[in-house]
Every structure is written in C-alpha cells, then in structure tokens.
Structure 1
C-alpha cells in the first residue's frame, strides 16, 4: 500500500466534516426561504437545494468505500452487520421526528402530511406532489438514501457471485446514462405537456426532482470515487498531487452549474444540471480527502459539531423553524428579521443536540453492543479440524 493510502486510512478526514457542515448549512438557507425571511436569503440560499446532492456524493463515497475495503481485504460482506449499522444510525431519530409530525399537528410547517405508510416504507419520493403534501417533504432525500443502502450491498454480492470484477465499472456507467434517459422521458411525457399549468413547479419536482431514478448521479459519483481510490491507488496518488487545483476546478464546475440550473425547473436542469452538480461536488470530495489538500488537516470545532449534528438538523429543522417563528413573533421579533433567523437557527441546533444525546447516541450504543456480541459469538464458534 502506498504512503498516501496509509495516511488516508489513519487520518480523520476533517475535510469531509467541512463538507457536511457546508451541505447542512446550504440546505438550511434554502429551506428557510419557505418561511418569512430576510430578502438577502433568496440570493444566498437559492442554490442551496444542491446541499442534498453533496450529501448524496458523501454517502456514495463513504458507504461504498466501507464495502470496497471489505472486499479488498478478502472478507465477505455481512449484510446483517451492514443493515444493523444503518438501522441504528438512521431509523430511531427518524421515527421520533415522524412521531412528532404525525401526532402533534401544530408542529407541522405546512398542511397535508403524506400517508404514514409512505414514510415508513421510505417511498415518499415516488409520486410526491407538493399540491397535496406540504409537510415533512424533505424526507424524500432520506428515501433515496435508504433505497441506495438497500440496493448497494445486494448489488455487490451479485457482482461478486458472478465474478464481475472490474466489469462493474460498466454497470456504473450504464446507470449514469440511464439517468439521462429517465429524466428525458419524464420531461417529454409528463412535465412538458403541463408546462402551462399554474402548478408546474410541483409537477417538475414530482417527476424530475424527487424520484430515485432521476437522482442517482451524486450517489454514483461517490461510489465511483470510492472504487477508484480503493482499487486504483495510482489514481489517488495523482489526485493527491493536484488536489487543491482540482478542488478549484470542482468549484468552477459548480458555478457553471448554478448558471445552468437557474431557473431550476427547466429542461436543461433536468438533463444536464444534476450530473454537472454531482461532478462538481464529486471532484471536491475526491480532492479534499487527499493529504496534500489545504482542508485535509484543518480542524474546526464549528464544522465538526455541525457535521455531527447534520442528520438531526436535517430531520428537525423545518419543524423547529416553524415553531420558533410562531413563538418568537409573539414576543415582538419580526418574522422576516435577521434576529429571527439567528434565533431559529440557534434553536434548530439546540434541538439537534437534544436529539443527538437523547436518541442518536443511545441508539449507537445499542448498535455497538449488538455488533460486539455478534463478533464474540463468531469468535466463539468451534473450528472444524480435519484429521
């Protein structure tokens, strides 16, 4: 293994914490536009919807990286351990927030919660119509990730069973190309015929923005980076030499994507916008995990904390912003003021901290105990001895 590879494995990837913090901040700014807000938020937060795409790239990179490392070491993939890790990390806090949305209606930021079964089966993102569903709609991205977590390890097992090896890269390429096809077909058959509708934005999101088959670009880019870094060390070495330049290139691509995707609900965005955004964020992720990158060893207590709280913040921020604005307005703080916005974000962080220590951390402790027990049971299994 190269020196760079060893360093990457041993060093905490602070750069990824910076990116998680950026992603959740960008999402918060974008969603704050749904509430009363200062005028400047429209300019700064208009591209914030791409924070979800950054989360997709990070998920693809990290989850696939774990599986690729297992394969590289010659170990079998344990579906039991994989799904246990994902379950205790994601499901308990999600169910708590879903419970609040379901049984305490005044906490909802909008009317019309979707059918409960759609949240429980993580299928909300299919057929999600903003005309009829207005609250907890940001769970759509969790649906995409949960479907990804289900399909990815099973795909790895199938590829290993058929000894696909390096041919798996063609499957990634095919899926990426299929994304163009699905978005084009969705636009042609369902979106464009309703271009004159007063609810065009809801139509566009329903058929283009939310479905998993339209939003695989970021996840596939993340998986591709993880695969290249795991099985092709020379790729990692090359990117390491030019990591800061490549990170700048990724930023330039994102700026270009901003122009391409403004306005958002267009044919160009549907076909070219999503892959361009995924590429830009993917290049930044590939660069920032390299030891030569400026952000690799740059520690920040702020971004570290935001990264840790990012999941809880994502789940609860709309609920807490809605509740905070209604309560603080009664004590004289204007809803569209900077002070209101600062208070709402502070309360959202406090809420995420509460969720972290009351639900997330206890769940992770239970997970660790279960995994440790499984490990001990495996070690205690009798070994067959042939004579």
Structure 2
C-alpha cells in the first residue's frame, strides 16, 4: 500500500513531544510523555497496513515474513544503543545504589522485558531513579515487542475469515475493550504495572489496527469537506494530552484523550485531498517527514544522552543545553542512515530470507547480551572514575575467611547479630563482614531500601514496608536467643542533598528542622516503641546507631574531572558540626527517652569518629567517609569497625 508522508510527520510530533518533555525545556509540554501513546496508535495502524496484503500467504510464511521485517526494523539500532549504554555506563557512571537496577533493565531490554524490570521496581516513571537509568525508555519497545507476539495471530484470523465470520471482526475489538477495562482497574490498584505493562496498553495499539481495518474495507470514509475539521479536532485532543495529562492517572483516563486525537488525525491524513489544510501541509513538509523517519533512532538516543549528561556535566549549563539536541540529532542521523536503513531495506541473502534474517538477529542479540552482561559484572575494567576503587568507595560483603586478629572470648560463643533497617543497614556491609570475621559470630541481615526502622524523624513507612518489617521481626523472634543483639540501622536525619542551597545555609537548615515537627516526632516515637516492644518480648538486646553526619552533595557523583563541574556538586562536602548537632537534637532527646523506657536498648554514636572537629567532611585525608550524601563508604566502614566491635563485646560481656 502507498506510503503516507503525513504519518511520518505525525511521528515527528510524537517524538519531539517526548524529547521536549524529557529535556524539561521550559516546562512547555508537561504531558509530553503522551507522545508515546501517539506512537502506540501509529504503530498499530502501520503494522496492520503492512500485513494487509499478505493474506494469501500460509500461516508459517506470514509469521516468518512478519518477524523478519520486525527484527530488521528494531534489532540493529537497538543493539547499537544498548551496547553503547553499557560501555558508557561502565566508563563514566559510578557504581552506586542505582547500578543493579540499571543493569537489570538494560539486560532485560535485549529480550523485550525491560518494562517488567521497571514495573517491579518501587519507583515511578517520573521518579529521580528512573531519570538516572539510561534504559528507562526501552519500556515502550518492550510493550510493542510483546504486542507483536499476540497481534499477528489475531490479525491473521481477521485477514482469512473477515468475509465469512463476524467473530473475525469482533476478536480484536473485544480484546481492546478487555484491555481498556483492565487499564481502568489497574491504574487505580497498581499504577506502575498499568503504566509499564502490555495488558493495560494493548487497547492503544489495537485502536490503530482497528482504524486501519475500517478504512481498508471502506467501512469508514471521511467526506473531504469534514477532513480539515477532523484533523483540527484530533490535534486539539492531542494538544490537550500534551499540556494537561496527569501522570498520577495514567494510562486511564488521560490516555483516552491522546489515543482519540491520534485516531482522528490518522483518519484525516489518509484521505486523499486536492486542497490540504495548513496542518496537513505541515505534516507533509520535508522537515517533518524527515524527522518522522528519524523518529525511531531519535527516540533510542535521546534518553541515554540526556541521562549521561545528567550523570556527568549536569544539564543546567546553557552550553550543555545547546549541545544536547545537536548530539542527539547527529547520533540519530548516523544510526538511521548507516545502520537502520541499510539493514532494513537491503536485498542481500541474509535480509531476504526470513529464517536466515531471524536467526542472525537472534544470534546478534545473544552475543550482544553476553557482552553487556560481562561489562555489567566487570565495570571496574573499563571505568574512568576514581570510584572504581570499590575497596575505598563502596560497602560490600567480604568473603568469609579467618581474621588477621580474631577475638577469642567465651561470651561470644553461639551469639548472633541481627541487622534490621533500610539502605543504611546495607551501607554497613563491610563493617558487618569484619564483625563476623573477628568475632566469629553469625550475622543475619534484614534490609530493605526506603523502609526505615525506628527512624526517629517520622512514623516508619507503611505499605510494603510494613510487610517487610513484620517478616523481619517474625524471623528475629523465631531465631534469636536471649542475649542476642539486634542492630537497628536506618537514616535518622532529614536529608541535606538535593536541597536548594543557593538560598543560604540558614534558610535551608531551618526548613529541614521544621520537618521535625511535634506530630512527626510523636509518630516516630510510636513506631520506635512498637518495634522495641516486640524485641523486648523476644528477650534480645538492641543496639541503635545515633544520627551520623550527612552532606549537601553526593561524593561519588563529583569525584572525577568529567563530573566535578556538575551543579549538583556546588554545595560542597563539608558541614559545620554544630549544624549537625542542631539537626539531630530532637532524635537524640528521643533516644534518651527510649533508653530509659527500654533497659535492653543501647546507643552507639559514630559522630565523634566521623566528625572529630568543628567541621564535618565527607572526606578524611582524601579518602571518602561517605559514598553519597549519607551512606557510608567502604573506608568509612573500616574506620568505624573497631568501635562497633567494642560496643558489641561490651554488651555481650555484661550478659555473660
């Protein structure tokens, strides 16, 4: 069937909307993420169009030809981007709390499963962690690839039986309706899965296919006189989505606006007309159609370039903002002209024979995935960052082995240390490994990021954190013996990183202190008492770490020549000790109250070791004490280990 230039122009609108939204350019398109929904509708239409003339093929040949064209269209450029992301990540992005999630997303993207990795993460599409993941945008490709597993079968039924059986016409609309209903429910009950997964998005792609079915069989014909009005109405609906779509209620109901508008635009642009409207002429223009042809490569490259600039130089400098679109356009054009187009349109034996092309693409996927996996497991081999020295920068579990100076003490026989908390419990892993080695005791860790235990600054988080907290407490109650120690480790200070320090230290610190209001502190006391009461009934001793210093900027993000100019580093890596003491005064008062109420509770205060002078620094003699604004480094762990070991020994010797 003939190519319709205006559809390429519509692709240009979609991809530019997404790019403008992600670049946060003047907040022009707060709903620009709905450009993805435009892509879904366009894809459903175009795929249906390409399959329409293949109804005379056998089912096997039909499927083989479909997947040959899809593989050659999607795989080459995607593999190039995924491999580039893996290499650049290893070279320039420090290994941190995001690394594992990023690597999992990237490796899953090779097999069209990255949307599951993102849906099962705790963060939304609009959260800071996804903005630092160079593979976040691949979720849309995963949705389309999963759609391609189902759609050809449904469409084949329509192609073969549409003239004989009404059910052939009903099958796709019924599936689309079921998907829409599921989307309504899922948006309320599980918004992450609704956003990322195919079942709640199927209706968007199917709507484009249904439109083609109606147009191709002449069941939908727009009179020429109404075409400009339909086109204008479609753009009005799409514009409404681009400006007003609410991310908290997506895909339902806001995707309906964009999907409906895109369907109207498609219905209008496919009609032949001798007097095109200004909107139609714009969509058919050479610049718009060229950008549309580049749209796949633009989409693939725009996000990782944005993420890597955010990791390194930052995006605030005007020169970087000017360079960003130039870099993306250059990469996209090179990818389109030298990779995407030659491999999709060539006439070699490999490209013309379906099974050869499919097998070659699958082999390329396997080889690329293996290479990316090796890079993700050995980033230090390629890293240009000082943070590649994991011994200094990161707290990790050490292999079990004999200690250089083991402590033999009868009071340690059969003892267990249970560790319970959020990511700050995980930040003690090196220290805990040294404890296990030197004392010869069993260390059992219960940690869940974002799920503070006895935070002392607010009520402990609810929802999934409540379940994790109860599971950990039940395990401790079942396994702990009288006299064992439970170490509660969590963030117990208002975070300083990410605040607007340009307004002055006093203003920002007063805001942080205001967060510690009586209502929050009362909730913090109740949460701590609930946990301590259960542990007291289990007849264990409890050790809690007093609030440690925290800093205005993350050290690991600012450790190298290629990221030191990032505006995130501007607040610096020192804070006055009296400011820390002021910030932690309410928590220290609450700790004093709790130690009087619960005799088995002891407090370990690392502050004197981490901040011996009047100014606290994230560095000690050039070595990082903290890897970011508040998590200990490997070096910080080793500095604190002797003190922590002595506290444990004192506790067990008193109970012997």
TM-score for both structures, normalised by structure 1: 0.75
The correspondence for 2:287, drawn from 289, 292, 302, is 302
Partners of 1:248 and 1:223 in 2: CA distance: 22
Deviation at residue 279 of structure 1 after TM alignment: 1.0
- Structure having the higher helix fraction is 1
Q: Deviations over 1:253-291 (max 9, x none)?
A: 335546763x3213xx44322223211111111111222
The correspondence for 1:348, drawn from 311, 325, 328, is 328
Q: 1:168 to 1:126 in 2, by over 3 A?
A: farther
Deviation at residue 56 of structure 1 after TM alignment: 0.8
Aligned to 1:113: 102
TM-score for both structures, normalised by structure 2: 0.46
Partners of 1:104 and 1:260 in 2: CA distance: 35
Deviation at residue 363 of structure 1 after TM alignment: 1.6
Matched, 1:264 2:247: yes
Which structure is larger by alpha-carbon Rg, 1 or 2?
2
Secondary structure of 1:24 counterpart: helix
Residues 125, 143 of structure 1: 8 Å contact kept: yes
Q: 1:350 to 1:256 in 2, by over 3 A?
A: closer
Identify which of structures 1 and 2 has the higher relative contact order when contacts are C-alpha pairs closer than 8 Å and 6+ apart: 1
Aligned to 2:29: 45
Deviation at residue 315 of structure 1 after TM alignment: 0.9
Partners of 1:369 and 1:188 in 2: CA distance: 50
Matched, 1:316 2:306: no
Aligned to 1:32: 23
Aligned to 2:175: 175
Deviation at residue 208 of structure 1 after TM alignment: 1.9
Secondary structure of 2:112 counterpart: coil
Residues 107, 322 of structure 1: 8 Å contact kept: no
Matched, 1:17 2:16: no
Aligned to 1:4: none
Residues 108, 319 of structure 1: 8 Å contact kept: no
Q: 1:338 to 1:367 in 2, by over 3 A?
A: farther
Partners of 1:76 and 1:320 in 2: CA distance: 43
Partners of 1:32 and 1:90 in 2: CA distance: 24
Aligned to 1:59: 43
Matched, 1:125 2:115: yes
Aligned to 1:155: 154
Q: What pairs with 1:80-229 in structure 2 (closer than 5 Å)? A: 80-105=64-89, 106=91, 111=99, 112-115=101-104, 116-128=106-118, 129=121, 131=123, 134-159=133-158, 165-190=165-190, 204=191, 206-229=192-215
The correspondence for 2:54, drawn from 46, 70, 77, is 70
Aligned to 1:362: 342
Residues 239, 287 of structure 1: 8 Å contact kept: no
Q: Deviations over 1:38-91 (max 9, x none)?
A: 5x2x1x1211101111111111111111212333xx455622111111101110
Q: Deviations over 1:136-165 (max 9, x none)?
A: 110000011111222211223345677774
Aligned residues: CA RMSD: 3.0
Residues 183, 201 of structure 2: 8 Å contact kept: no
Q: 1:368 to 1:20 in 2, by over 3 A?
A: farther
Secondary structure of 1:167 counterpart: helix
Q: 1:175 to 1:338 in 2, by over 3 A?
A: farther
Deviation at residue 171 of structure 1 after TM alignment: 2.2
Secondary structure of 2:207 counterpart: helix
Partners of 2:35 and 2:214 in 1: CA distance: 24
Secondary structure of 1:104 counterpart: helix
Aligned length: 332
Deviation at residue 319 of structure 1 after TM alignment: 2.1
- Structure having the higher strand fraction is 2
Deviation at residue 209 of structure 1 after TM alignment: 0.9
Partners of 1:308 and 1:239 in 2: CA distance: 29
Partners of 2:269 and 2:296 in 1: CA distance: 21
Q: Deviations over 1:292-347 (max 9, x none)?
A: 243556643322221121111111112223445777x5xxxx83355533321011
Residues 134, 308 of structure 2: 8 Å contact kept: no
